[in-house]
Structure 1
Amino acid sequence: MKLSNFISITALIISIVILWGLKEIIILFFGSIIIAMALCTITGKIRDFLHIPRWASLAIAIITIILISSISFVIIIPQFTSEFQELINQIPSAASKLWDLSINTFFNFAEIIYKDNIPSLADRSILSNKLSIIPDGTALASGITDSITKLISLVSNVGVGILQFIFIISVGLMITLQPNAYREVSILLVPSFYRRRARTILLKCGNALSSWMTGVLLSSICVAILASIGLYLLGIKLVIANALIAGVLNIIPNVGPTISTIFPLSVALLDAPWKSVAVLGLYVVIQNIESYVITPSIMQKQVKLLPGLTITAQFIFTFLFGPIGLLLAIPMAVVIQVFVKEILIHDILEKNYFAPKM
Structure 2
Amino acid sequence: MKKECVNIFFVGFLLILIQTFLQYNSEFTSIMGEMFSSIKPFIYAVFIAVLVSPLVKIFENKIKMKRSLAIGLSLIVVFSAITGLFFIVIPNIISSVTDLVEKFPDMLRSLSSNTTHLIDYLKEKDMLFFNPKEIETNLTNFIRTNVGNFKNLAFGFGAGVLRSIMGVATFFIGVFISLYLMYSKEYFMNFLENIFKLFTTKEKALYGVNFVRRVNDIFLKYILGRIVTSAVVGLVVFIVLLIAKVPYALLSAVMVGVGNMIPYVGSIVAGTIATFLIILAAPLKVVYLFIAIAIGQTVDGFLIGPKIMQESVGMSSFWSIIAVMVCGSFFGPLGMFLGVPVFVVIKFIYIECLNRRSE
- TM-score (norm. length: structure 1): 0.77
Task: Note closer, same or farther for the CA distance 1:13–1:294 as it changes in structure 2 (3 Å cut).
Answer: closer
Q: How does 1:334-353 map to 2 (within 5 A)?
A: 334-341=341-348, 343-346=349-352, 348-352=353-357
Q: SS of the residue aligned with 1:237?
A: coil
Q: Give per-residue Cα distances to partners, 1:144-177, cap 9 Å, x unaligned.
A: 4145246536755627634543444343333223
Q: Given the alignment, which residue of 6, 9, 22 partners 2:35?
A: 22
Q: Deviations over 1:251-271 (max 9, x none)?
A: 122233234335653554355
Q: Which moved more, 1:93-102 or 1:237-246?
A: 93-102
How far residue 231 of structure 1 moved from its aligned partner, in angstroms, is 0.9
1:224 and 2:234 equivalent?
A: yes
For the 8 Å contact 1:31–1:328, the answer to whether it is kept is no
Give runs of aligned pairs for residues 6-21 of structure 1, distance below 5 A. 12=13, 20=32
In the superposition, relative to structure 1, how do residues 170 and 59 fare at CA in structure 2: closer, same or farther (>3 Å)?
A: closer
Partner Cα separation in structure 2 for residue 32 and residue 105 of structure 1: 55
- Choose 105-114 or 172-181, whichever is displaced more: 105-114
In the TM superposition, 1:54-203 aligns within 5 A as: 54-91=67-104, 93-102=106-115, 104-106=117-119, 108-109=121-122, 112-113=125-126, 127-128=132-133, 132=137, 135-146=140-151, 148-149=153-154, 151-152=156-157, 155-156=160-161, 158=163, 161-190=167-196, 191-193=199-201, 194-203=204-213
- Please list the CA deviations of residues 175-211 of structure 1 after superposition, one character each: whole Å capped at 9, or x if unmatched: 2232233334344443332211111111111112221
**Structure 2, unpaired ranges of 5+:** 21-27
Aligned match of 1:301: 311
1:297-342 deviation per Cα after TM superposition (whole angstroms, max 9, x unaligned): 333532323211121111111211223322333xxx314423432x
Note closer, same or farther for the CA distance 1:90–1:307 as it changes in structure 2 (3 Å cut).
farther
- Given that 1:27 and 1:325 are in contact with CA atoms closer than 8 Å, whether structure 2 keeps it comes out as no
Give the distance between the partners of 1:74 and 1:133, measured in 2 at CA: 42
- 1:233-248 alignment, distance < 5 Å: 233-248=243-258
CA distance in 1, matches of 2:64, 2:211: 27
User: How far apart, CA to CA, are the structure 2 residues paired with 1:10 and 1:206?
Assistant: 26
Question: In 2, Cα distance between the equivalents of 1:178 and 1:86?
Answer: 49
Q: 1:37 aligns with which of 47, 50, 74?
A: 50
> Quick one: distance in 1 between partners of 2:12 and 2:169?
32
Range with greater deviation from structure 2 (238-247 or 152-161): 152-161
Structure 1 portions without partners, runs of 5+: none
Give the drift of 1:107: 5.3
**Paired residues of 2:93 and 2:250 also in contact (CA < 8 A):** yes
Preserved CA contact (<8 Å) 1:216 1:251: yes
Q: Distance in 2 between matches of 1:272 and 1:10?
A: 58
Identity of aligned residues (%): 17
Cα offset for 1:15?
Answer: 9.7
> How many correspondences in the alignment?
337
Render the CA deviation track for 1:31-68: whole Å, top value 9, x for unaligned.
43222111212211333332333222212101212322
In the alignment, residue 313 of structure 2 is paired with which amino acid? V
What corresponds to 1:278 in structure 2?
Answer: 288
For residue 24 of structure 2, what is the aligned residue in structure 1? none
2:278, 2:286 within 8 Å by CA — same for their partners in 1? yes
For the structure 1 residues 213 and 13, does the alpha-carbon distance in structure 2 shift closer, same or farther, using more than 3 Å as the test? Answer: closer
TM-score (norm 2): 0.77
- In the TM superposition, residue 295 of structure 1 has moved relative to its aligned partner by 0.9
